[in-house]
Structure 1
Amino acid sequence: MTRDAILRAAEAEVSVARNAPLPRPGLPMVTLVRNEMALLPPFLAHYRDLGIGHFFILDDASDDGTAAYLGAQDDVSLIVSPHRYGDPVTQADYPYAGPVRPGMRRNNLWKSLLLARFVGEGWAAQCDADEFIHLPPGTDLADVADRLDAQGANAVWAAMIDLYPRQARDVLGGGAADPAYFFDGTRHVTLSGRRVPRHRYESARHRLAVTAGVARPLPFHRRMQLRLVGRSQGPSGTLVKQPLVRWHPQARHLTAHVTTLDRPSRSVLLPLAHYYYHHGTGAKLDGILASGGYNKGNAAYRRLAAVLTALDGRGIPLTCPLSRPLDGYAGFAATGNAAGL
């Protein structure tokens, strides 16, 4: 598909509700949000500090004040779509992607077209509102892009590290308003010559689901395979992403985590702190489970609610002997979850 045709598809799918009046020098960021007011202020502040100068944020019909808040930010262009996250994608919507898989989510289409329309060619960040890249002190995302350019790379992988507070009530409500966060302090993924890094750990998400009785423990041979050899996916799915990409209009997202960019760095691994369990999750869960519209009938969110409710009811903490306090890039590097910077 030609560049002009891709841009026409982008203009039909997403439109600008408000241009940023005062974007700053720096890299662009593309983000999709729905009802993320608990995280948006720290998210924007975090990435401004990492050198993002212009945010292109598609709001998926939020009803918690997200759109009004974003509309008041000088460096945010607010983007909207006539469709919803859970709407099916047809071949006509995504003509340059090859065969559209059954059940493909709209977010894959949106991310590709946002980057094509508002970035075109060049480096850009693409993170969700609950994903926070950590870098060494004094380093910003432009520095990382320069290093990747020197390597001839057009993307970088990040390990998604689930963060959590001490107690389920800190997530569901009724606990600490500003809790301390922890992560499982063991190596989660390793870079390899394969297309996707190798998963080496089950993830805190799976650990907590097993503790709550919502998931089964991995068989011994699977645990050993993860630790010693690695797998392309963990028991909770693909927990790696490409949060910094050198885009071009013909590139696209194959999934929410994997793009067609074919030269990711083989030496740089970024840590992506993932606030899967945060102090605003409980309120968000209530809205999601009441309204629907997410993938597979809200299955992931129904599972998350079941895990948190079970752990809270039994007084079981989210922390475990592996837990380590969130302490920035140094902590992720010390546990094998960051490299190359």
Structure 2
Amino acid sequence: MTSKQLFYTIYEKRHLIQGLKTYLSLAIDDRKQQSSELGSLVIKDASGWRRRFRDMLFALPDLGEVAESFFSDRMDLLRVASNVREGIVCIIVERNDLVRLKANIKHHRRIGVGRFVVVDNVSDRETLEWLRQQDDVDIVRVRTPYSTNRREAWINRVISYYGTDRWYLVVDSDEMLDIGFEGHAALEPLVKELERVGCSRARALMVDMYARPEYYAEGRRDQFLSECVYFDIDTYSKEAFRELDAIYGGPRERVFGQSALLTKYPLFYPGKRGVECKSHFPFPLCENTDSECGLYLRHYKFIPGDAGEYKRRALNGGYYNSSSQYKRYLEVISKNNDDRLNFYYNGSARYSGPSSFRRIKGI
């Protein structure tokens, strides 16, 4: 399967039919009111969001679930932070990923995030207790089972509540943003520059980070930042689509044979039309192409003890392409008879800061 074929596997007939039905329902029903069944994270400007979703579904009719879940899933604001700064809001959707979540929030505080909104999909008590101790974190609880499209709906609900006239950093709990633009080490100066040149989003290369094989068999989970310091420099390719300038490759393709899309737009200003429509790119699509790639997302997807989570996600089936990537991870692990993974090869480079990623070829 080519990368282009893989990219368009999302356009299955059932998704198209669902999207068209949702488009029609949004087009004829402007009478929906805020319901208490939707929880305390209320939808603000519901009619405006129906217009946004109608525009999105006209271009991407397979995304009906994003619009449906936006208007139907219950989301409760469990806790409002007591010590926040105005400016960029960081949105994180997570479930029981406390080790990575701690490092994630610490890192993004350091580069200028003043408020976090963690959308928690029924984590355990330990995770929630830690989140409650963070005075710059709002906690939103959603109990609806996870799917990739529902994740986008939840993010849009957060954007609706906090406002479309501000910048958002949208990351997963296993991602950490590095700023590669020359002369910018913090987010606020960067967004001011983006505003000056008329950009509403910034493109990032997602770089899968990994360790030497010994760590996966013997290492501690909380050591992942000091151990997962390697990345590929020569396994990438680039293709242009109408949705975005796509970059593929990295260790997931090299080790698992999966064509992983590595382009993302984590820094985003919704404005009057913007929608988080997919985990890798927002709508309107025309604003995604020809954007400079000056950000990097360090992606810590593989750390010791993750096999149990792979099994849960494989059984869930709600992740991209029916959770096929997690099923493949389990196949490789079972062949090795343990949790040991080997990503290291003669093209591995060691990370020492954002400038390290300038060595990457083919982007």
- Shorter-chain TM-score: what band? 0.7 to 0.9
Equivalence for 2:153: 109
Q: Residues 35 and 64 of structure 1 are in contact (CA less than 8 Å); yes or no, is this contact kept in structure 2?
A: no
Q: Give the equivalent residue in structure 2 for 1:229.
A: none
With 301-310 and 182-191 compared, the bigger mean Cα shift is at 182-191
Match of 1:292 among 302, 316, 322: 316
Give the alignment partner of residue 306 of structure 1, picking from 319, 331, 334: 331
The alpha carbon displacement at 1:164 in A equals 1.0
Q: Show the counterpart of 1:170.
A: 215
CA pair 185-312 structure 1, distance change in 2 beyond 3 A: farther
Please say if residues 39 and 129 of structure 1, whose CA atoms lie closer than 8 Å, have aligned partners that are also in contact.
yes
**Conserved? CA contact 2:87–2:166, under 8 Å:** no
* Distance apart, 1:29 and its partner CA: 0.6
- 1:25 Cα deviation after fit: 4.2
2:47 maps to 1:5? yes
Q: Which runs of 4+ in 1 moved over 6 A?
A: none
Q: Deviations over 1:40-73 (max 9, x none)?
A: 1110110000100000110001126222211111
Which ranges in structure 1 are unaligned for 5 or more consecutive residues?
Answer: 87-103, 210-214, 216-234
Match of 2:287 in 1: 263
Deviations, residues 241-276 of structure 1 (Å, cap 9, x unaligned): 110001136422332112114434723431111111
SS at match of 1:65: helix
In 2, Cα distance between the equivalents of 1:109 and 1:287? 22
Distance 1:133 1:266, change over 3 A: same
1:300: Cα distance to partner? 2.4
Task: Say if 1:297 and 1:192 are closer, same or farther in 2 by CA, change over 3 A.
Answer: closer
Residue matched to 2:191:
145
Letter matched to residue 260 of structure 1:
F
1:39-50 alignment to 2 at 5 Å? 39-50=100-111
Please point out which of 346, 350, 356 is paired with 1:321.
346
Q: 1:81 & 1:242 partners in 2: Cα distance?
A: 24
Contact 2:246 2:263 in 1 (8 A): no
Alignment of 1:158-237 (within 5 A): 158-167=204-213, 170-171=215-216, 173-175=217-219, 178=223, 179-186=227-234, 188=236, 195-199=243-247, 201-209=248-256, 215=257, 235-237=258-260
Q: 1:37 to 1:287 in 2, by over 3 A?
A: farther
3-state secondary structure, aligned to 1:17: strand
The one-letter code sitting in structure 1 at the alignment partner of 2:252 is R
Within 1, Cα distance between the matches of 2:173 and 2:167? Answer: 19
Query: Residue 308 of structure 1: CA displacement?
Result: 3.3
- Residue type of the alignment partner of 1:274: H
- Corresponding pairs, count: 293
Structure 1 CA distance, aligned partners of 2:160 and 2:345?
A: 43
> Could you tell me which residue of structure 1 aligns to residue 170 of structure 2?
126
TM-score (norm 2): 0.71
Query: For 1:66, which of 117, 124, 127 is the aligned residue?
Result: 127
Equivalent residue letter for 1:19: V
Q: Give, in whole Å, the separation in 2 of the partners of 1:300 and 1:180.
A: 20
Query: In structure 2, what is the Cα distance between the partners aligned to 1:314 and 1:16?
Result: 37
Structure 2: runs of 5+ lacking an equivalent: 1-25, 31-44, 51-69
Relative to 1, partners in 2 of residues 1:105 and 1:163: Cα closer, same or farther, differing over 3 Å? same
CA separation in 2, counterparts of 1:268 and 1:5? Answer: 34
- Summarize the Cα distance change of 1:337–1:60 in structure 2 as closer, same or farther, 3 Å threshold: farther
Counterparts of residues 235-250 of structure 1 (less than 5 Å): 235-248=258-271, 250=273
CA distance in 2, matches of 1:321, 1:65: 40
TM score, norm. by length of structure 1? 0.75
**Cα distance in 2 between the residues matched to 1:329 and 1:300:** 27
Amino acid at match of 1:22: N
Query: Residues 123-146 of structure 1, C-alpha deviation per residue, up to 9 Å, x if partnerless?
Result: 110011111111258611112211
Contact 2:93–2:121, Cα closer than 8 Å, also in 1: yes
